[in-house]
Amino acid sequence: MKFLFRTEGGLGALIARLALAAAIFPHGAQKVLGWWGGSGYEATLQFLTSQAGPELSNVVAMLVIFGEFLGPIALLFGFLTRFAALGLAIIMAGAAEMHYPQFFMNWEQQPGQGEGFEYHILAVGLALLLTIQGAGWLSIDRKLGRSSRSDEA
């Protein structure tokens, strides 16, 4: 359990944590709240369980939806960072598979071209960095990690 709160990361982990939270939160808010032109929870659940390439079970679809919504919030505060980041890495790897084989994002929104998975590679990379290093500076994990180490002494 102590591993979840330990953090070796400093400023670099803080920057990675905040960048990943800022990039992923809007996507989660689209799925849960319907913000930024999103479909909201019910429509997203319907899409993921019936239309999104390999259909997901209700449980897996709910984990994806709430992982993408709550994970960035956890990252923002640096709470259970390793757990949240690993969950986001798995979600983004799955999303990359859905966008394969198109590599580049479809900036011009050309019909029939689809979106690429280059964004997902960056998200997975940042998430794995946080899974390995921890939350870094200005995090709840850092505070809790220090508390647990001082209790051992």
Instruction: State the pLDDT confidence band at 126, using cuts at 50, 70 and 90.
Output: very high
Domain ranges of the chain: 2-152
State how far the Cα of 3 lies from the Cα of 145, in Å rounded to an integer. 8
Tokens of 84: 């949240």
Q: Is the per-residue pLDDT at 29 higher than 60?
A: yes
What are 61-119's pLDDT values in tens digits? 999 999 999 999 999 999 999 999 999 999 999 988 887 788 887 777 777 677 888 99
Answer for the pair 105, 98: CB distance below 8 angstroms, yes or no: no
Torsion of CA 109, 16, 133, 2, to 10 degrees: -100
State how far the Cα of 50 lies from the Cα of 9, in Å rounded to an integer. 40
pLDDT at position 52 is 61
Answer for the pair 120, 98: CB distance below 8 angstroms, yes or no: no
* Torsion sign across C-alpha atoms 66, 72, 76, 81: positive
